Structure 1
Amino acid sequence: MVPHFPGANPRKRGSIKRDDSIGATGTPDGRILRRRLGGSPGRQTVIAACCVVLSLSAGVLAAVPAAQADPPDPAAKKKQLDSQIQSQRGELNQASDQLAKSVAAYTQAETQYQAVQVKYAAAQGRLAAAKAADTVAASKLKVAEAALQTAMDDVASGEQLIEAKKAVAGRAVRSAYQQQNTLVGLSIVLRGASPADLATGMQVQRNVFGIQGNAITNLNNAQAQLANKRVKVAAAEQAVADQRAEAARTVKEVTALTLQVAADKAEAAKVAATRLTAQQAAEKEKNSELAQYNALVSERTRVEQILIARARAEKAAAARRKAAREAAERAKAKKEHRPPRDVPDDPGNSSGLSFPINTYITSPYGLRFHPILHVWKLHDGTDFGAGCGTPIHAAASGVITDRYYNGGYGNRLFLSNGVIRGDSITTVYNHLSRYNVRVGQHVKKGQVIGFVGTTGYSTGCHLHFMVYQDGRVVNPMKWL
């Protein structure tokens, strides 16, 4: 019995039909039969008659139908499996699409979030500037109002000064008017007894007239200063009005920007929530994608461990067979009195492997950088593009060692090709839609062993062809 890989689905194994019969043996020789039965020919005749009766009885019993359930309908079973395959394929496509959509949604939400953050920061900056301008405007308004008050106080003082100047000037004018006659100078001359007294009197008169002139001049100056102060008051009043308007504008701007900042903050919170939801969805899909990849790696590692042990056993068996042939050749050569000839390896698949499908390659073997998971993933085989249902041919002769379904590789088929050029080779065919051979069956190179499908972790019909060399996965193209 060929050993099977552990971990294969038992229910799937139950559906695998195997031919474990050993075949019917040939009819024994008559003499041997008589020797087994013993006795004379007459006795043999009686025994033969009994055998005939027993045979007829067995035939009657065999004609009675057995009380057992009817076997499952293969067509119905196939339809059920096809439905499951289509469902799994749809789920895979949906998962891949959902991952791309989740990442795109997160990227869009992140872009919106950054834009809203910039907008919110700009609004906060404008609000801070508006508040600063409002503070400056209020300060300027306060200074302008103080200047206006000072100017108004100066005007009031000027008006009081003018009133006083008017009083002084009025008295001087009245005095001058009363003293406007030609006898004033004569009285001064006549009253003076000496020239010194006369000079003093004349000086007094000049002083009186000077005081009168100064009073009028001071009044005129005070009136001019009052006019200037009134101009300053008007300018101060205009400055106060301007500063009040500026203060009102800044207050209005601050109010509007405060509302804008609040709206931007609410929008930022909403976008942040959307981003978080998109991030969680993308993370979930990313974890699912990573789990699928880890499952593939785990399956590949498990298979490698089994095939490494099998490769060692195959190579050891081949070495033993060759050693036996060499010993036989030496014995024969000694008997024939000649040197022994070289003994070749097992003939097997000396010509190597051939393409399982005559088609184009859609994805070669090698490492891939996953743009979302940001890990290097090994694409552990060569993908051949072909429509579902396309026949798949054995790359070399060998024995079917196993077939089963895996969540990543889908329907898998393992073909042990024996030792080729000193290496144990196993070819594996993945994502099959259905099989055409059974476990334990010997197949020839080029024989149809299955059909292309898209089962497992697959997004389209193709064959994922793998080669294990001494139990380790290698690039299939080095053998094709």
Structure 2
Amino acid sequence: MVPHFPGANPRPRGSIKRDDSTGTSAPPYPRSRTGPRGRPTVVAACCLVLSLSAGVLAAVPSAQADPPDPAAKKKQLDSQINQQKADLAEASDQLGKSVAAYNQAEVKYQAVQVRYAAAQGRLAAAKAADVVAASKLASAEQALRTAISDVAAGEQLITEKRAVAGRAVRSAYQQQNSLVGLSIALRGAAPADIATGMQVQRNVFGIQGNAITNLNNAQAQLASKRAKVAVAEQAAAAARAEAAQTVRQVTELTQQVAADKAEAAAVAQVKLVAFKAAEKEKNSELAQYNSLLRERTRVQQILIARARAEKAAAARRKAAREKAERERARKEHRAPRNVPDEPSDNGGRLSKPIDTYITSPFGMRFHPILHYWKLHDGTDFGAGCGTPIRAAASGVVTDKYYNGGYGNRLFVSHGVIDGSSITTVYNHLSKYKAHVGERVSRGEIIGYVGTTGYSTGCHLHFMVYQDGNVVNPMKWL
């Protein structure tokens, strides 16, 4: 008889005690690797990684002469996608959400910082433009004042020229008489006197012409100066408008910079809160993982001891059968026949506990957030809560209890199969059907799928212990 199986020996046996420890004081966030609920951030990150991977594969020229097989490449990419999903699913939903919230806050903070820096740059440029506009305005106004002063001086000059020209005109009018030359001749003046008189007359006419010419020139200059005043007024108006625009821009950008600064501060606070939440969830995730490690190590030690005892008991039973065979052979005066191992109805293989799809295989995983390698110590089968779970082979229910990580657990020992002690474990159950000490047959319902423990979706986490050590269940299915 095997002493560590209930019902096999009336003596008390050791059992795997219930262990609810999770390593945290607060209730653990549920966890699952089935992915039944949406993980937009995780899936988006996975798609991004795979898109980049596909781009790299497409960019590397093939070393083979023949083009790659599209079907084979699709199969390879599908495998990569499934593996990435399984790897990313190692993070709990809450941790993923916390990290995603922090990443979102970080992205938004960076965007606000960029906008803030751009607004500061525009503000500095606007202030510089304001200085230039102010300088242009001052120059334009100075030019306008100068032009106005020039016009005033021109008008004064015109007034003076008009007075001179008026006197010349009046004098010429008074002296301009066709009888002047005749009177000079009739008086019997000498020719020299006549010439002098004519010269005087020409001088008077010259002064008159110069006065009129100067007046015309002064009027032309005044018209030019007035045109310059108009141009200066236009330049001054444009400079005033430009200066006013830069003042408005400086005011608006100053307000924008203040708003962006305030938003950056608010987003920084949100980022800090998200960071603390993500750190808390990461610590919780790490505590849950450490708890699972302790639970697995504890169970492994117990099952190793059970396996040794079970194999030793099987060896003793076989030795007893061999001894009995030798005694019969002596009495019957014949050679002893070969004594086989104890027969098993398990046929060397296990059956699927649920006839459904696998959502996460056994193997090492790189945690996408905690950044370390960890063992996914079973095979996950996706199924709705309440789906019946069947014994993978005939055996005895040795233990059932709740654990903070694995949820409701049920252990079935199948004895020695192909020389190895095999125990199967069913985790996250919603309800038990089999009881400790009960012998169950292959395919018999022993419990129902659930999402207890560190799980976020209904699924079965199926484990196989071979000689007390956890192994890939697919090796036995």
TM-score scaled by length of structure 1: 0.66
**C-alpha separation in 1, matches of 2:333 and 2:104:** 88
Residue 157 of structure 2 aligns with which residue?
A: 161
The alignment partner of 1:465 has SS state of strand
Task: Output one character per residue of 1:128-152: Cα deviation in whole Å (capped at 9) or x when no partner.
Answer: 3433332232122111111112212
The alignment partner of 2:413 has SS state of strand
The alignment partner of 2:414 has SS state of strand
The alignment partner of 1:248 has SS state of helix
Q: 2:135 aligns with which of 136, 139, 147?
A: 139
The alignment partner of 2:298 has SS state of helix
CA shift for structure 1 position 240: 1.9
Q: Is the contact between residue 427 and residue 466 of structure 1 (CA under 8 Å) also seen in structure 2?
A: yes
**C-alpha separation in 2, matches of 1:461 and 1:155:** 95
| 1:422 lines up with 2:439 in the alignment | no
Q: Which moved more, 1:119-128 or 1:230-239?
A: 119-128
Q: Which has the higher contact order (CA 8 A, sep 6+)?
A: 2
The one-letter code matched in structure 2 to 1:428 is V
CA shift for structure 1 position 230: 1.7
Residue 169 of structure 2 aligns with which residue?
A: 173
TM-score scaled by length of structure 2: 0.67
Q: Is the contact between residue 389 and residue 449 of structure 2 (CA under 8 Å) also seen in structure 1?
A: no
CA shift for structure 1 position 178: 4.3
CA shift for structure 1 position 325: 6.2
**C-alpha separation in 1, matches of 2:392 and 2:296:** 21
Q: Is the contact between residue 394 and residue 444 of structure 1 (CA under 8 Å) also seen in structure 2?
A: no
CA shift for structure 1 position 219: 1.4
Residue 395 of structure 1 aligns with which residue?
A: 393
Change (3 A) 1:442 1:187: same
Task: Output one character per residue of 1:18-48: Cα deviation in whole Å (capped at 9) or x when no partner.
Answer: xxxxxxxxxxxxxxxxxxxxxxxxxxxxxxx
| Structure with the greater alpha carbon radius of gyration | 1
**C-alpha separation in 2, matches of 1:469 and 1:91:** 28
Q: Is the contact between residue 181 and residue 194 of structure 2 (CA under 8 Å) also seen in structure 1?
A: no
**C-alpha separation in 2, matches of 1:331 and 1:186:** 192
Residue 443 of structure 1 aligns with which residue?
A: 439
Task: Output one character per residue of 1:339-369: Cα deviation in whole Å (capped at 9) or x when no partner.
Answer: 6654433434561244364542453533466
The one-letter code matched in structure 2 to 1:289 is E
CA shift for structure 1 position 469: 1.9
Gaps of 5+ in 2: 5-12, 33-90
**C-alpha separation in 2, matches of 1:288 and 1:380:** 20
Q: Over the residues paired in the alignment, what is the CA RMSD in angstroms?
A: 4.4
CA shift for structure 1 position 377: 5.2
Residue 457 of structure 1 aligns with which residue?
A: 454
Residue 232 of structure 1 aligns with which residue?
A: 228
Q: Is the contact between residue 29 and residue 454 of structure 2 (CA under 8 Å) also seen in structure 1?
A: no
Residue 244 of structure 2 aligns with which residue?
A: 248
CA shift for structure 1 position 216: 1.7
| 1:381 lines up with 2:378 in the alignment | yes
**C-alpha separation in 1, matches of 2:373 and 2:194:** 128
The alignment partner of 1:345 has SS state of coil
CA shift for structure 1 position 229: 0.7
**C-alpha separation in 2, matches of 1:90 and 1:160:** 96
Q: Is the contact between residue 4 and residue 401 of structure 1 (CA under 8 Å) also seen in structure 2?
A: no
Change (3 A) 1:349 1:298: farther
Change (3 A) 1:90 1:120: closer
Task: Output one character per residue of 1:263-288: Cα deviation in whole Å (capped at 9) or x when no partner.
Answer: 33223322332333233223323432
Q: Is the contact between residue 102 and residue 278 of structure 1 (CA under 8 Å) also seen in structure 2?
A: yes
**C-alpha separation in 1, matches of 2:144 and 2:453:** 89
| 1:351 lines up with 2:351 in the alignment | no
The one-letter code matched in structure 2 to 1:405 is Y
Q: Is the contact between residue 93 and residue 456 of structure 2 (CA under 8 Å) also seen in structure 1?
A: no
CA shift for structure 1 position 112: 4.8
| 1:138-287 to 2 correspondences below 5 Å | 138-181=134-177, 182-183=179-180, 190-191=189-190, 206-287=202-283
Q: Is the contact between residue 386 and residue 452 of structure 1 (CA under 8 Å) also seen in structure 2?
A: no
Change (3 A) 1:383 1:233: closer
**C-alpha separation in 1, matches of 2:372 and 2:271:** 24
Q: How many residues align?
A: 399
| 1:290 lines up with 2:286 in the alignment | yes
CA shift for structure 1 position 221: 0.5
**C-alpha separation in 2, matches of 1:88 and 1:355:** 35
CA shift for structure 1 position 103: 5.0
The one-letter code matched in structure 2 to 1:223 is Q
| 1:404 lines up with 2:401 in the alignment | yes
**C-alpha separation in 2, matches of 1:277 and 1:90:** 19
